[in-house]
Every structure is written in structure tokens, then in C-alpha cells.
Copies of this chain bind each other. A is one copy, B any other.
Amino acid sequence: MRSIVFGYQIGAIALLGCIAGTAVADALLTQAQGIFKPLPKDMATAEYPITPARVELGRALFFDPRMSLNGTVSCARCHQPSLYGTDGLPTSIGVMARDNPRNAPTVLNAAQEFIAHWRGDRKNVEDQATKALFGPPSFGEPNAESVIAKLKAFKEYQVMFKKAFPKDKDPITTANWGLAIGAYERTLVTPSPFDAYLKGNTKALSPMAMRGLSKFISTGCASCHSGAGVGGGMYQKFGLTEDYWKATGSKKIDKGRFDVTQDQADMYVFKVPSLRNVAMTPPYFHDGSVATLPQAVRIMAQVQLGKQLDDADVNEIVAFLDSLTGKLPKNFATPPVLPVGAFQTSQK
């Protein structure tokens, strides 16, 4: 009898715990749904539509190095499928081995951010793609004429541009280069377990990831890292409670958006990055100064929120961040075979 009573008691406690647990879990889901959003199916807008012809063209251009100064840089140089749309470097290295000032963020889900580049000096992915052609440490092209001449050397690109921009009399332009690559990038969405969770499937996250989510919110991370991107929606000063370069050991102090606006309020201000696929895209921060995700989480809590997280906190938050990893989109995981053709002499 005792054992039965005992069993009954344990059962009751387990049941109560379960009801309480469910209530807590439901409350967390409701809270999360108020802060975050599932990723959209794609990132098209009225102004930047996705048409199959634009996406096909943009996908080819994204992977084609032949239009760069010496034929070695495509978008995929800094946004490689194997490295989840990054280059794995602290700061990128472009054409002629020229150094870029900042870390290359992943191209995955990037089109849904409110602005492009760490300092917000590119309007959107289309603007970024076009301007990358002329960035000395990216593609390094001297002018639009040079790019256009190279594109026109490929009959297949002539046909593809015409098909992608049927109303344009002369469709091979650097603006259309950006529109096509942008259309492609607007398809690069990586839904993850966290999206399934936000849609109501509370089993999509492990208990540890849910505790991490709860801590991510209660610690204050979600006040900036929110929305569908879990970030990518606002600017913020890096180093609110102490200097970021001391905590990260960064070698070079970067004034961030101040250098764009010359506004003192923008000193050390950067775009809050999206945390989608963050577990797959080290190293971290605008300068790639931190190599591991636990360390990045620890530093963020310290310099943005004035909090010291213990190892258990960090591990749980990292478990939550792991739930933001989605599968690579098929049209990114498998690069296209490019139009056949080559230039007879080096382009340098």
C-alpha cells in the first residue's frame, strides 16, 4: 500500500510539475511570439520582385568571378556555400589580396535586414551588390563600362539579361546586375527549428534551447536581437557599458557609423547583426575578433548589458542560438554551371 500511495504522490507531483511546465512553456512561446517572427517564405518586395529569370541570372552572376578586376572574385568569394555564406575570415580579403575593413556577414537571410553593411552605408542587397563591383578590395572594377564589356562578351549573359529585364532596351547595366543578384539573394531563406517553434511546435526546441531562449530574453539580448532576423533591425552602439575593443582584444578601433554620418551620436555604432545561422558563421563581430560563439555571447552580455554570464547561462543561450541554424537553400548549396567563355588575356 505504501508503495502505491508513494507512487500516487509522485504521479501527482509529476502531473502538477507537468501542468506547471506546460504553462511555463506556453508563456515562453507567447513571449517569444511577441518578440520574434518566423522567417518569410522569401524576401521579395513590391519594389524588388523575384522572377525566375532574374533569380536564374542573379544566381549565375553571384558565382561568376570573371567580371572582377583579375577574374578571381565573385560574390561567392566572401559568401561561400561551404562556410554558410561567409568566408571564415576575421575581415575579408578581396581582389588583389586587398584587405576589407570588416567581417563578411552571411548572405543567408540578409535581404530582410533593414539596411546593408555593418555601418548601414548600403541601402539594401541590390545596392550592396552593385557597389561591390567598384569597391577596390571587393571586385575592384574601374568603372561600369569595364563590367558591361565583360558581361557582353558572353552571348548567354546577353540572353539572360534580356530575359530578366524584358522591358529594358539595353538591359546589361550595373544597376540590373544588382537587381538580379538581389532577386537571387531574396530567395536565400533558411527556416530553422526556431521557426517551427514560433509557429507553435514547442517540441521543435530542446528543453535546454528553451531555457536558453528564456535567458536570451531575460538577460536583455532580445531587446536588440528581435524580429524575423533575430537582429538586423536597428543600429546600436557596440560597447554600451564598456569599450568593446578592451573586451574583444580588437586590434583596431572602428568608429562605425560615425565615419559615415560624422554624427557624434553614431560613434561606435553598428548594425545589430542578425543571429540567423550564427553558430555556423564564426568569427564574430564587425572585426571578426572573437572566434567562438560562447565567447561572443559572454562579451555581448558584458559590454552591452553589463552582465557576467556563468557557463551554464552561456551554454543554454548557445543551445538556443543553435536552433537558429537552418539548412542551406538548394539553389545556394549547389552552385550553377556558368555560361561558357573565357577572356584570352589576364584582365589586370
Contact = CB atoms under 8 A, between A and B. Distances in A.
Interface string A328-348: 100001111110111111100
A193 interface: no
Interface in A254-300: 279-280, 282-283, 288-291
A340 B291 CA distance: 10
Contacts of A251: 345
A343 B97 contact: no
Nearest to A63: B82
Nearest to A249: B344
A72 interface: yes
Interface in A170-229: none
Interface of A: 63-66, 70-72, 77, 80-84, 87-91, 93, 95-97, 251, 279-280, 282-283, 288-291, 328, 333-338, 340-346
B345 A90 contact: yes
A89 B338 contact: no
A88 B63 contact: no
A333 B291 CA distance: 29
Nearest to A341: B282
B82 A342 contact: no
Contacts of A345: 90, 251, 289
A180 to B, nearest CB: 16
B291 A344 contact: yes
B93 A342 contact: no
B82 A344 contact: no
Given A82-B335, A82-B337, A83-B338, A88 B66 contact: yes
A60 B251 CA distance: 31
Nearest to A94: B72
Nearest to A59: B82
